Amino acid sequence: MTVNNNIILKHNEINHKIRRIAFQIYESNVNETEVILAGVDKNGYTLAKKLKTVLKNISDIDPTLCKVIIDKKQPWKPISTSITPDDYKNKSLVLVDDVLNSGTTLIYGVKHFLDVPLKQFKTAVLVNRNHKKYPVKADFKGISLSTSLHEHVNVILEGKSFEVTLE
């Protein structure tokens, strides 16, 4: 195992951020019985699963998971989801991703869900970077980082030890 001196968040800190984001989602949906957690495939979906677990423990809200498949290299291509538009129509939805970098993935994800009327639409990310090229923001965020464009944020949310590193 290599030692990385650029660790931004360690396992316990990540779990704390996830818990805090879950409480924020609950607070903004306190009158809802159901919330759709739409996680962008891979780490965003993994984060959504962790948020679902915490939400179930802290509230009476029934969180429904939705996997959002976006081609991150060509996000304008059709997006697919693991649930149908009828499953999220007129419901509160939170689009979840691990890192908000330029905003490209989130803006195309937002665009996809705007084809169906929603009761409320929010976004959640673990790491918010300040390099936006689109007017999209994270409503719920674990941490905000000011980084250079040449740096890469790496998020590990599976296994025995979660971490966020800057490379």
DSSP the chain: ----TTEEE-HHHHHHHHHHHHHHHHHHTTT-SEEEEEEETTHHHHHHHHHHHHHHHH-S-EEEEEEEE--TTSTTSPPEESS-HHHHTTSEEEEEEEEESSSHHHHHHHHHHTTS--SEEEEEEEEEES--SSS---SEEEEEE---TT--EEEE-SSS--EEEE-
- pTM exceeds 0.85 for this model: yes
**pLDDT 10s per residue in the chain (167 long)?**
445 569 999 999 999 999 999 999 999 999 999 999 999 998 999 999 999 999 999 999 999 999 999 998 898 899 999 999 999 999 999 999 999 988 889 999 999 999 999 999 999 999 998 777 788 889 999 999 887 777 888 898 988 889 998 88
Which domains does the chain show, CATH number per domain?
A: 11-146 (3.40.50.2020)
For residues 163 and 29, give the distance between their C-alpha atoms in angstroms, rounded to a whole number: 28
